[in-house]
Amino acid sequence: MKFKQVTLFGATGLIGSYLLEFLLKDSDIHLINVVGRNPFHLQHDKINNIVIDFEDVSSISNSITGSEAVFVSIGTTMSKVNGDKIKYKSVDFDIIFNIANACKQKNINQFIYVSSLGANANSSNFYLRLKGEIDEAVAKLNLNSTSVFRPSVLLGKRNEFRPGEKIMQFVMPLLDFMIPSNSKAIKAEDVAKSMLNTTKNYKTGLHIYQHSQIIDL
């Protein structure tokens, strides 16, 4: 499937940076709207850099206009928001929901975003509960096609230092033989590649991808 235009939120993150790399190399994609709070550092003929205020819903809506697929790989950490759960939710829930809702209003063909293994709106864990809540909220929008990616620990080099994740990246591959298939660590590069691949074979409705399905893609 050829795309005249796609939009990517989260191009500077671990998965997003790989995804942008694949999008740039894909001859089927002609234009990539790279949306963020700040100007994007990379200049390329296929990149249309759009700087927005994420609290302005109309800006989000305008940034995806004309796109056939919208990719979202954004999130924050407790350290970035100084432990403020309200600020955390404003990123990991509000922004993602507002993008998804804009896709509904604009009748975008495909919405693809990153959630988490263990996402559950009834979880006692704040992070997993929030991921479950956003997954449920997006599902209720009944978009044309929604692909939810739920990877476990991501393997790859981040621009920022996350000590807890760094430890898990080291430990989990050593224990790989003991870990259930859907809980295994996975390369961020593989997740990004699968996010792009899922757009190649258009399927309507809601689709959730965990480790084994991501690898199959």
**pTM summary value:** 0.89
Tokens of 150: 């739920």
Domain region containing 151: 6-216
Which uninterrupted H or E stretch holds 34? strand 32-36
Count the domains in the chain: 1
Domain membership of residue 1 (yes or no) is no
Q: DSSP secondary structure string, 72-130? A: E-----TTTTTT-HHHHHIIIIIIHHHHHHHHHHHT-SEEEEE--TT--TT-SSHHHHH
**pLDDT tens digits along 7-51:** 999 999 999 999 999 999 999 999 999 999 999 989 999 999 999
CATH number assigned to the domain comprising residue 168: 3.40.50.720
**pLDDT tens digits along 70-128:** 999 998 888 888 999 999 999 999 999 999 999 999 999 999 999 999 999 999 999 99
Domain membership of residue 135 (yes or no) is yes
